[in-house]
Structure 1
Amino acid sequence: MKKTISVIGVPMDLGQGRRGVDMGPFSIRYAGLKERIERLGYTVHDQGNVNVPQAESHHIHDEKLKYLPEVTRVSEDLASKVKDVVEQGHFPVILGGDHSIAIGSIAGITQKYKKLGVIWFDAHADFNTEDSTPSGNIHGMPLACCLGVGHEKLVNIAGFAPKIQPENVVIVGARSVDRDERLLLKQHGIKVFDMHEVDKLGIAKVMEEAIRIAGEGTDGIHLSLDLDAIDPDMAPGVGTPVLGGITYREGHFAMELLFQSNKVISCDVVEVNPILDEHNKTARTAVDLVCSLLGEAVM
């Protein structure tokens, strides 16, 4: 892995319905992210936060695409910032905010790494469009957008689409997928390891296959880590918790395998909501997982 880490905060809560996730970057920083990463031997540059407008100062013009102009603008700003740190040879760690930030994260990374693999570690597939969404919340759409599926403004962030190809994308940990979303995933050939397969095959086999799919013939792997992939007993502070998730230890082992693959070039960490949390437990879990991704080990 690159020895310089750039941390970028995106206090975004416009992409989902429950307030408080905008404080996610602060809570993750407060949980000791920078200090823990530095102890692993990395140089850490905290780039501060991308500016995100307050929901109260803007109106929802389309109930199927809530806060579309604002989410689009933040995504463009984030893409530009991520592009800059990637071109400097840094490893970006992008802190959300809700999962809509991945639209900007991946748009920035793929301006340098043209063939990017993606592992989407999430209880949800995030593959809705304005036609299929039951809520209108854009945090349920980012993976589709990155694959060129969805509203033209979101699809064309940074001026090009698609950002990634379906044969290089894997979802791990899914256990809450909408009906129309399921049809879209099958139509586009996205590999999904739901919790049934995690239980049946074991996390080691699932991650080995995920790394193969996302890493074979690509310039590297982007990890999009939604904390609701982890079971709510260790990650209660998320907007859409779903019982029966990946255990704390399975999460660590998955991150350790990703580190050992030497293929991960970037990550975003999303959906930490301290208002819904218990003594910053979810943020501390996020820091633990990121440090395992970066090589922290017992011995």
Structure 2
Amino acid sequence: MDPISIIAGILAVYALFTALTAGLSIKSPEPGNPKLPTVSQSRKIPLAVGRTLVTGPNVIEATKYTGKKGSHEETRYYQNIEMAIAYGPGTLYKIFGDEKTAWDGGATPLTDDGQEIFVDAIGLFGHRRTPGEGGMYGYAMYARGDSAGYIFPGWEAKTGRDQPGYPMLSRVKFESADLGFYWGNAPNYRPVSFEYGFLPNPLNQGNSVIGATGSEAANPAYVLYEILKNSEYGTSSPAQVDTASIIAMGTTLANEGLGIRRTWYTESASEIEAEILSLIDGVRYRDPLTGFVA
């Protein structure tokens, strides 16, 4: 790719915070405020287990930011954006704008790569013709975040850049034809958040989900296994695991109805493990005879 195209791509992403039209000024996100969309390689990817809320998505790709005068005094703002949610593979249940429901999957949440829905919330923040109000309007396509990764169809051509597919990272691409996805009538982004569910089942057991529909919790035993073995968000330990003990623990926790619904934004794998062990009153140990971890 030639240098001019690279520079243009960088400008497209930074247009999240810097207007490209004359006289328009967009504020940068407040330092330390994770609820505003950001462009940062330093922020950790959240680990969200059970059906839980994930706030502060990281913007990982975007097209040109456009402000267009409406029929009244309002200026409407458009942009196609790809946002990272959390480690996957997971399920997307709801999309929120400024803590208001922009889309609710109900009985048909998004569970697979390439599933697309239409976000019809044009008055989510108020009247669509009122300055500072408006809403969200356009298509949203989902990537579940499995080990194979997923490149959104046509996204490389639209952005002018190669896309890595981001294995193990669940994402949403907000897009619409012409000007782009509609984000409302205010130059600053309203906070976007997601109701999302990651329910680990590394040992293929029937009790990986604890709780009723609508409040599904993850089985802490299988979250602990993932924390120990996963190379993306865990310790990637080479130790052999006593899977029979993990399964027995999972059965006990399921019978007790003790699940976990939690989003970790900055904690390390060891901190997450310690929190879960405290929750279930457990301890990790190495068998002195077999050397297996349980």
What range is the shorter-chain TM-score in? Answer: under 0.3
Question: Which is strand-richer, 1 or 2?
Answer: 2
TM-score between the two structures when normalised by the length of structure 1:
0.23
